[in-house]
Amino acid sequence: MVKQGRVNSLVILVLACFVAGRVAASSSYSVTDFGAKGDGVTDDTKAFLDTWNATCQSSVSSVLFIPAGKTFLLNPIVFHGPCKFYIRVQVDGDIIRPGKLWGGNFAHWLLFSHIDQLSIVGSGKIDGQGAAWWSCKTNHVSFSSSPLSCFCLRQSHVSAVSSSCFLHAFTSFGFFRSNAQPVPTAQVAGLRLISSPQMHLVVGFSSAVRITGLTITAPGDSLNTDGVHIEQSRDVVVSDSTIGTGDDCISIGTGSILVNVSRVTCGPGHGISIGSLGMANSLAQVSDIQVDHCNVFSTMNGGGYGYAKNIIFESINLTAVMNPIIIDQHYCANNVCAEQRSAVQVSDVRFIDVRGTSSSQVAINLNCSQNVACTGITFHNVEIQPAQRGGQASSYCFNAHGTVTGIAIPAVPCLMP
């Protein structure tokens, strides 16, 4: 483990030197020079776009500077690429969204798209002010764009309500179609993301992305507020972050390959999930996922076809976690799903040095498909005790195959060879 730590430190040092070298010869563009007020009341969207255009078109590596001590109010904005050279967005000030509902189907509030060699760093706070959207979902009301409000529906329409509210909510921060290979300079570091209407940070169709030092917070009862969501992306690292939301701490969706999650503290929330694979009988492809030195996780799949394979959960600490280890190929997001004949093939999943406590009686739940078995499930030194004194921790398996070595508490006698 010490050797691995030294290697990681060396990589970070080399990367830091590379980034510093690029920035040393750069130009700097402050949003205040382009008219941003930063008073928390004036709409600074146009000033940010004008600053971005100047930065993106610069003939040298550049810094887009968001100064400290100010709060910038932004409506939906897309920072488009490609750009000519490396860009660092230095977020020292705070950014907030107007505290109201929006018309239209905005997928993202702040979106960075088609930009290679981009870093977004700083200690600034990005506040999605999502309370109004959570209220729509929680109280079974729907969204109306004229006027901008939530309105109540009869109980008979509740099933349509949840879908409507979900579609209109949006992600606070998006990072799409960035390819930083061969040198990984696509970074998001140090930011504080709070109260997104839906997911806080999404990485999609990108490669060589490094996410570190984030603090992400939302109330434990806020719906669909995943901390970090990764999909259709390769070589993504999430590390040294603290995430507490009303949904997944980190969610890993289809098309994710070579994802590493380490030294992340989760809670409240639903843990680290490789999930919602094969929805609507779609193709799922997830492989080479490693989660280590974290404190809570779960995995879930349902329906569809394809695979989730070569997944490692190692050195995990659990504290009063509900469903600490779960593979569920019967998972259904809205509780009205029909039984599926197909399922995502789950194979080569390893749980190594997992210790802590479970707030649910079933601490290990391997609920695999009747038609497509889970194979190559490995437990090595797994010790999960009940969180409450006098409680019990048990295991459950259905059509799950694998091996157990070392300690296994609770025992997993239901795991077939």
Question: Is residue 111 within 8 Å of 176, Cβ to Cβ?
Answer: yes
Are the beta carbons of 303 and 281 closer than 8 angstroms? yes
Burial class (CB in 10 A: 0-12, 13-18, 19+), 3: exposed
270 is catalytic: yes
Q: Is 49 exposed, middle or buried (0-12, 13-18, 19+ CB in 10 A)?
A: middle
Q: Choosing from 140, 270, 293, 380, which is the catalytic residue?
A: 270
Measure the CA–CA gap between 298 and 292, rounded to whole angstroms: 13
How far apart, in Å, do the first and last CA atoms of the chain sit?
30
Residues belonging to the chain: 417
Q: What is the 3-state secondary structure (H, E, C) of the chain?
A: CHHHHHHHHHHHHHHHHHHHHHHHCCEEEEHHHHCCCCEEEEECHHHHHHHHHHHHCCCCCEEEEECCCCEEECCCEEEECCCCCCEEEEECCEEECCCCCCCCCCCEEEEEECCCCEEEECCCEEECCCHHHHHHHHCCEEEEECCEEEEECCHHHHHHHHHHHHHHCCEEEEEECCECCCCCCEEEECCEEECCCCCCEEEECCEEEEEECCEEECCCCCCCCCCEEEECCEEEEEEEEEEECCCCCEEECCCEEEEEEEEEEECCCCCEEEEEECHHHCEEEEEEEEEEEECCCEEEEECCEEEEEEEEEEEEEEEEECCCEEEECECCCCCCCCCCCCCCEEEEEEEEEEEEEECCCEEEEEECCCCCCEEEEEEEEEEEEECCCCCCCEEEEECEEEEEEEEEECCCCCCEC
Catalytic site positions: 270
